[in-house]
Amino acid sequence: MANATSVQYEPVAEIGGGAYGTVYKARDTESGQFVALKSVRVQTDQNGLPISTVREVALLRRLEQFDHPNVVRLMDVCATKRSDQETKVTLVFEHVDQDLKTYLERAPAPGLATDRIKDLMRQLVCGLAFLHSNRVMHRDLKPENILVTSGGQVKLADFGLARIYSCHMALTPVVVTLWYRPPEVLLQSSYATPVDIWSTGCIFAEMFRRKPLFCGESEVDQLGKIFEVIGLPSEDEWPTDVTLLRKHFPSLVPRPITEFVSEIDEQGTQLLLNMLTFDPLKRISALKAQEHPYFYDVEKLTQTKR
């Protein structure tokens, strides 16, 4: 981890504040290119940075060697000692001008073409399959941290940060949205990579709707909104390690997903339902999603465009 060198990056503008603190657009004074800076203050012990942080950063750096087209590039990591107890770790990422949220908002009515949605989804699933195959869980996928370049390339951002920050996050007043959270996280059950697939399903639906699928105001409200669409899961499927019981929810049957996502075709519907499956063990994996028939004709489309 480089020491200091923050002089090399000259902040130009503040581009957002999330749960992880402020993000700056900056200029790399050596290359002249724009970058995105994300800093976190880490409590240090006698040996310097906690081993968990060093490990997480090392993993992010290792991913960098693959240079995956659908994952935002981590260009540098700088550590600046602020005191004996605290070190500022700055992650330097490539800068992409817009996120998927802005991209969807900017799309002229009636919204994105179905072929465009398919292409964006294919790239998103591809980036996710790469992260999961390298044992990286995103944990906070939402339109704001999926970047879209001017050429229409999708890049996942902010992956791996949840682990770096969760150990050291100061309590911030930022409210982290619940809308893309899977049932197992809302129920505070154990979770793994399927959490990202649920979030991807929510984003898939949103690309058609141009508004979020489940807009809950609390964990319980969010679950209620989910069950209104997918139905109340059976007693067998309900996790046993949770305090919130199934009987606290009204008995609801699944409604056709096309009631909520009207322009989606048959293959898309099937893929979406495979993603929005209550039981994480039955949810489709990113690798399997890549091979879904929904994407069969997308390669042809991309080739003809070229």
Higher-confidence position of 227 and 63: 227
The answer to whether residue 2 sits within a structural domain is: no
Q: Which of 65, 94, 123 is the last residue of a domain?
A: 94
Q: Are residues 106 and 88 in the same domain?
A: no
| Rounded Cα gap, residues 41 and 278, in angstroms | 36
Residue 70 lies in a domain: yes
Looking at the structure, do residues 77 and 110 belong to the same domain, yes or no? no
**CATH number of the domain within which 54 lies:** 3.30.200.20
191 shares a domain with 136: yes
Q: Which of 73, 69, 180 shows the shortest CA–CA distance to 125? A: 69
Domain match, 146 and 191 both: yes
> Is there a single domain that holds both residue 59 and residue 104?
no
> Across residues 69-91, what is the average pLDDT?
85
Residue 306 lies in a domain: no
Q: Quick one: 170 exposed, middle or buried, by C-beta within 10 A (0-12, 13-18, 19+)?
A: exposed
In a domain? residue 87? yes
For residue 245, which amino acid is it? L
Q: What is the pTM of this model?
A: 0.87
Asked, as a colleague might, if the bond just before 256 is cis with ω within 30 of 0, I would say no
Q: Which residues, in sequence order, are CB contacts of 58 under 8 Å at separation 6+?
A: none
CATH number at residue 281: 1.10.510.10
Q: What is the DSSP string of 127-180?
A: HHHHHHHTT-------GGGEEE-TT--EEE-STTHHHHHHTT----SPPPP-TT
Identify the domain containing residue 121 by its residue range: 98-299
Q: Is 248 within the bounds of a domain?
A: yes
Are 118 and 87 contained in the same domain? no
Model confidence at 3, in pLDDT bands (50, 70, 90)?
A: very low
Among 76, 119, 140, 158, the active-site one is: 140
218 plus 281 within the same structural domain: yes
Are 210 and 259 found together in one domain?
Answer: yes
Q: Is residue 3 part of a domain?
A: no
Instruction: Kindly state whether residue 304 falls inside one of the protein's structural domains.
Output: no
Catalytic residue at 236?
Answer: no
Residue where one domain finishes, among candidates 62, 77, 94? 94
Closest CA to 11 of 37, 40, 33, 30: 37
pLDDT score, position 282: 96
Tens digit of each residue's pLDDT (9 = 90 or more) over 172-200: 444 567 999 999 999 998 888 999 999 99
222 phi, psi to nearest 5 deg: -60, -45
Domain identity same for 55 and 121: no
Q: Do 25 and 163 reside in the same domain of the chain?
A: no
Question: Does one domain contain both 126 and 242?
Answer: yes
pLDDT computed for residue 65 by the predictor: 81
pLDDT in tens, 113-135: 999 999 999 999 999 999 999 88
At residue 14, the pLDDT reads: 86
Angle at 143 between CA 217 and CA 67, to 5 degrees: 140
- Total of domains in the chain: 2
Last residue of one domain, picked from the residues 52, 74, 94: 94
Could you give the CA distance from residue 283 to residue 271 in angstroms, rounded to a whole number? 10
Of the listed ranges 122-126, 143-147, 176-180, 209-213, the one predicted with least confidence:
176-180
Judgement on whether residues 79 and 179 belong to the same structural domain of the protein: no
